[in-house]
Structure 1
């Protein structure tokens, strides 16, 4: 069904566009501010529809209260907050490529939390992907890695992706029997609470004509529309087939960044990106249980 295949493609396109938006708006609003506004917009939109349902399911929500708190911390605050911070120091192209590293990190986090022992394909593929990641960060010359200050944004993005891997593994471990939209709504509520100490410390930038479009995009499309499209894709295509489309994110991000942000696509991006994707494909071979968690 061609329309079912289009669902994950549009979802990945929205997320890729958000990486470019994150890089663009970094000059107009602080990471804490856009992260808070993003989830505030999503929360306001969802509240008229989801608050009555959440109240009806309040006992179920209370049962998984701490799990929702942990999921929100890793998936919405640490991942998104670090990504917004990384945008100040690196390119959208690099962010997109590093984001493709999530399946590999998920394998290693699964070892820690689920005690899943990776097979030889996962080990070799992970090492290959890590080599490709270092190649991209070093811009094709590993001697450049000594200049740690010049790679601060890439390091932050790697940390963000690492935390998101925890999010995926926790989802698999707990397998909460909660409607997905209620789960999303509760996690967003937690994320707003988590932002309060950072807002008190760093302050909150105002919304103006330079950043309002980016804030609304982040709050509507990647926060609400893309997850909905992705969930529908999983329903029609299955988790394994759907997860393959996530490999399009570096490609979509690079294209958007090239035409919109005028970022250069270099030979090191091509070589490193291909190595990373090959490593991911190899790591997922005969490791479907791990891939499902991403």
Structure 2
């Protein structure tokens, strides 16, 4: 292992965009896989199992491919902060949120990350916020309100706690991307995600031992839930994160995050096929409005080009 700064290898544009799109496909599936895994696993047990498997695979991969770098002493605090945002806070918000709201609706809210990312850039990097971005936020909030105010039918209702939990995931992802960009100048994607998962595992460990470990014997293990946990570990916690981290190193946070717009579309398709999910008209309209807000936020950038 080395602690020398990693210079990104040259990737063609098709390779970069293929990597980002694949990461979005895997993350879209993750909402469905999580929904199925939670039929058996409790939340913290699922997260610890997912991180344990992902970390084991990544350590083996990193050592055998010689891609795993040693962290510099001055960067340890940034790795600790990186893991606070993802996987710790993000996974808590996303996984508990998915126990309360539809995978498709959750993915629509996660897709607002590109809208709010400029705010972290404003406070941390002093970058200006465009009028188009503000307009996009207003439009998207209107869509989220439409989604949240659907009637009380249990199959379609969206409770406030679920929305707030997904909002925690969105906020965590925004600050994660900012810290990731800082570290990506010195470390490759395998290194970043490996240490992120190792640290995250230990962040979750006290919660697991104190809350859920005493009740493990009560879990009714289902084959489909175990398979989905393994899929989450391999594709969502390993491959997708590495592909996304490598893309961020090459084209930056803002351009990479725009591809989050694909999440609600892909998740809606996968949820309809696998979970047979049917959403009421008001929620579909709300989703369209949220996605419209995402595109409004990009208008200024497109005009400038």
Same fold flag (TM > 0.5): yes
The TM-score, its normalising length taken from structure 2, stands at 0.81
Alpha-carbon distance in 2 for matches of 1:154, 1:77? 18
Select 1:93's aligned residue among 73, 88, 104.
Answer: 104
Count of equivalent residues: 282
How far has the Cα of 1:239 moved from its partner?
6.5
Matches within 5 A, 1:99-110: 99-110=110-121
- Does structure 1 residue 169 correspond to structure 2 residue 178? yes
Shift of the 100–192 alpha-carbon distance from structure 1 to 2, 3 Å rule, reads same
How far has the Cα of 1:173 moved from its partner?
4.9
Select 2:233's aligned residue among 205, 215, 219.
Answer: 219
- Would you say the 8 A contact 1:12–1:249 is kept in 2? yes
Select 1:41's aligned residue among 53, 66, 74.
Answer: 53
- Does structure 1 residue 201 correspond to structure 2 residue 210? yes
Select 1:151's aligned residue among 160, 169, 187.
Answer: 160
Q: Structure 2 stretches of 5 or more lacking a match?
A: 1-12
- Would you say the 8 A contact 1:8–1:245 is kept in 2? yes
3-state SS in 2 of match to 1:203: helix
Alpha-carbon distance in 2 for matches of 1:5, 1:55? 22
3-state SS in 2 of match to 1:64: helix
Matches within 5 A, 1:1-294: 5-51=17-63, 57-58=69-70, 60-139=71-150, 150-173=159-182, 175-204=184-213, 205=216, 208-210=221-223, 211-231=225-245, 242-286=256-300
Alpha-carbon distance in 2 for matches of 1:266, 1:123? 28
**TM-superposition CA deviations, 1:231-258 (whole Å, max 9, x none):** 5656888866654432111011111112
- Would you say the 8 A contact 1:90–1:151 is kept in 2? no
The TM-score, its normalising length taken from structure 1, stands at 0.84
**After the TM superposition, which of the residue ranges 91-100 and 163-172 deviates more from structure 2?**
163-172
**TM-superposition CA deviations, 1:35-74 (whole Å, max 9, x none):** 111111011112223358899843x432200100000110
**TM-superposition CA deviations, 1:164-213 (whole Å, max 9, x none):** 11111223355541222111111111001101110122123478334211
3-state SS in 2 of match to 1:28: coil
**After the TM superposition, which of the residue ranges 279-288 and 25-34 deviates more from structure 2?**
279-288
Shift of the 149–244 alpha-carbon distance from structure 1 to 2, 3 Å rule, reads closer
**After the TM superposition, which of the residue ranges 22-31 and 64-73 deviates more from structure 2?**
22-31
Match of 1:292 in 2: none
3-state SS in 2 of match to 1:82: helix
